[in-house]
A and B are shown apart, each in its own frame.
Chain A
Amino acid sequence: MKTGAQCIIDGLKRQGVKTIFGLPGGSVLDIFSELYHSSLEFVLVRHEQGAAHMADGYARATGKVGCCLVTSGPGATNTVTGLATAAMDGIPMVCISGQVPSSMIGNDAFQEADTTGITRAVTKHNYLVRNVDDLPRTIAEAFYVARSGKPGPVLIDVPKDVQRASTDKTTPKELSFRGYRPAFEGNSKQIARLAEAINKAARPLLYVGGGVIAGDASRELTALARKARIPVTTTLMGLGAFPETDPLSLRMLGMHGSVAANRAVSECDLLISVGARFDDRVTGKISEFATAAKKAHIDIDPSSIDKSVTVDIPVVGHAKPVLQKLLPLVDKGGHREWLASVNAWMKEFPFSYDTKSSQLLPQYVIEQVYELTRGKAIITTEVGQHQMWAAHFFKYTKPRTFLSSGGLGTMGYGLPAAIGAQFGKRDALVVDIGGDGSTQMNFQELVVAVEHDLPIKVVILNNGHLGMVRQWQEMFYKGEYSASVLKTTGRNRVENIPDRKPGQYLPDFVKLAEAHGAVGMRVTRQSEVKSALKKAFSTPRPVVLDCVVSENANVYPMVPPGASLIEMVHSMA
């Protein structure tokens, strides 16, 4: 006989979990008591949102299922943003939450929340375990659901009495689902049709998303592109699925994509989407998206096919087996003329910035991070301008090296995700690129990096603004900076904040880092950046590098919202 709490710890071990992120409370004390005697590593976070993002960062960096454990009520509700972030990007996670005793559910008991109700829309699946006999099977099911098909977060809500009750049930040898059968090899006829289309195309283009990374199909994709000589563009989620240093790479597409990628989409005659979902940030004005092209769509998720764009050749299946079957069917490609034009666009319109500026520009900092690491780092990001620059000025060559909240766009993701990634990849250099706004959202988690000797680097591109909001206000709202200023001067009247001395930093990230036990450094000039980064990278401790950068830099090129991909704006002028 085992208690429910024992079933949970044993179940996690059986699933290969080594590290759990979380924070205790009244309704999970039985589990924590079991944990105390176990061989698992527990990471005590300072806010449960941090736990969810760490589990997510761990999952993205390693491909394994990330795991977190939180208490009922506020503990569970604090994970909601983290679950939603993982759900949007298809990241495998299992979150275990405590619940008030079964007899008290529905009574507005202390720290009760309808956790399964609240998380229903932000998980792939969730369970409320009412009987301890169901617990071993539920844990195994949860992990299977989280990692199979299109991966996603799964939550298991366990009332306190269920944790304490005993059972002789064990994990079943085989799981059976009546409605859930996600394994798809891809229909051979459809794959043959796609091969034929590829062999006939004069101007083919591969449009690659996070599904290639989740599906471990980067090698197959690269082989296909090189054999058939097809240029490749990726989404933000797809960065690293194809080496951006390859001459066939057109870098990222979409709202802040490269000119070459967006032109190629508009001019190709065959668009092959692999593991991407025609997101509105990618397509721009949908009626003008890739109008010249026949469209093929390889995706594990049948619901993403024909969702926003009607495709001619749908292939429902895992990217890896589909690409494996496709590869021998495609001819060695030439596409000389087509490649010559896309290469010319790449040459003419690289991601660029004013390299002659006397100011410290944010893009320069990222370029230096790229050069000093020689591209060998795991980059996590927060959300905003810096996130786009991190996509532009660092070239990703391997899957699972760019971790960013693509679908939900969650500020506060990058720092805890970096910690999670470093737990999974102890030897990697993990760099969180953040803005001054986002980085404050989960800064408290820095303590975790200090406690566990995780030498993560937090590079803050401090522009004194909620920069991306400021950019939109500059471009589309007459330059009226409503609540997007973070520095201590020039705040709008409605905020009722008097000007303080310029040059005062609020917060002072250097002191803040030091107060958390990390190393804090600041640069304000371009000439200081290289040596500061070198020092940060060679320091075997967590470092926060506050880079005080130009306030006015904008992310270009940009497809204005609602415009088509060819209507790119290159500057304000």
Chain B
Amino acid sequence: MKHVISALVENQPGVLARIVGLISGRGFNIESLNVAPTQDAGLSRMTMTVPGDDRVLEQVMKQLNKLVDVVKVTDLTQRRYLNRELALIEVAAPAKSRAEIVGLADLFEAKVVSVQSGSLTIQMVGEKEKVNDLIEMLKPFKVLDVSRSGVIAVARGEQVKP
């Protein structure tokens, strides 16, 4: 099963290498990875999607928690969470198919952000599955290039304790 792992880490050189090394050293493939600062300048949040066996991943999480630079690790797949991904998709768009592509983008609430002669670049923000769906739908038109941010995610409403 796919796990969305969220790690709050100290913003230090070497942290990323340490975490990625620990996961990949155990033979897991990191499918997507996103790192960026948080509201606290000293901390960064890493969001990773990692496919793998639950039990083995639990062990990986414990190992991650043990790292000196890691403040907190959670497997978001075990709780309520929100996930989003941003994708920029360039798709071949000769005049005759342009309208149809724009229509599809509209259906997904995606935006055409750049128009070239012969191609369109679409910006899509949404749940990872939705992004996958849009790319699937665009495939018949010939997708020329895709760049995805990787999933970012937060647990829902856990910071405020009632």
B21, A178: Cβ atoms closer than 8 Å: no
Given known pairs A178-B10, A179-B9, the reply for A145 and B18 (CB within 8 Å) is no
Secondary structure type dominating chain B contacts: mixed
Least CB distance from A359 to B in Å reads 46
Given known pairs A116-B14, A128-B14, A178-B10, the reply for A302 and B62 (CB within 8 Å) is yes
Inter-chain contacts of B65 with A (CB < 8 A)? 302-303
Least CB distance from A279 to B in Å reads 15
Inter-chain contacts of A145 with B (CB < 8 A)? 68
> Contact mask B60-71 → A, CB, 8 Å, 1/0?
001101111111
Asked if A307 is at the interface (CB within 8 A of a chain B CB), the reply is yes
Asked if B59 is at the interface (CB within 8 A of a chain A CB), the reply is yes
* Interface residue from A120, A180, A305, A307 paired with B17 (Cβ < 8 Å): A120
Given known pairs A117-B17, A120-B17, A125-B68, the reply for A179 and B62 (CB within 8 Å) is no
B68, A307: Cβ atoms closer than 8 Å: no
Inter-chain contacts of B68 with A (CB < 8 A)? 124-125, 145, 177, 179-180
Least CB distance from B25 to A in Å reads 6
A302, B66: Cβ atoms closer than 8 Å: yes
Q: How many A-B residue pairs have CB under 8 A?
A: 46
Q: Which 3 pairs between the two chains have the least Cβ-Cβ distance?
A: A303-B62, A179-B71, A125-B68
Tell me the complex Cα distance, A125–B17, Å: 12
Closest chain B residue, CB of each to CB of A301: B66
Question: Which parts of B120-157 form the interface with A (CB within 8 Å)?
Answer: none
Asked if A506 is at the interface (CB within 8 A of a chain B CB), the reply is no
A179, B59: Cβ atoms closer than 8 Å: no
Asked if B43 is at the interface (CB within 8 A of a chain A CB), the reply is yes
Question: Which parts of A116-136 form the interface with B (CB within 8 Å)?
Answer: 116-117, 120-121, 124-126, 128, 130
Residue from A121, A124, A303 having most chain B Cβ neighbours under 10 A:
A303
A120, B18: Cβ atoms closer than 8 Å: yes
Residue from B8, B25, B69 having most chain A Cβ neighbours under 10 A:
B69
7 A-B pairs within 8 Å (CB atoms) are namely A116-B14, A121-B21, A125-B68, A128-B14, A302-B65, A307-B59, A307-B62
Closest chain B residue, CB of each to CB of A302: B62
B71, A178: Cβ atoms closer than 8 Å: yes
Tell me the complex Cα distance, A117–B17, Å: 8
B43, A178: Cβ atoms closer than 8 Å: yes
> Contact mask A24-63 → B, CB, 8 Å, 1/0?
0000000000000000000000000000000000000000
Asked if B72 is at the interface (CB within 8 A of a chain A CB), the reply is yes
> Contact mask A314-346 → B, CB, 8 Å, 1/0?
000000000000000000000000000000000
Tell me the complex Cα distance, A440–B97, Å: 76
Inter-chain contacts of A301 with B (CB < 8 A)? 66
Tell me the complex Cα distance, A400–B143, Å: 66
Least CB distance from A401 to B in Å reads 29
Inter-chain contacts of B18 with A (CB < 8 A)? 120
Least CB distance from B23 to A in Å reads 12
Question: Which parts of A358-414 form the interface with B (CB within 8 Å)?
Answer: none
Inter-chain contacts of B63 with A (CB < 8 A)? 303
Tell me the complex Cα distance, A418–B70, Å: 36
6 further interface pairs, Cβ-Cβ under 8 Å (given A120-B14, A178-B43): A126-B14, A177-B68, A179-B70, A303-B65, A305-B62, A306-B59
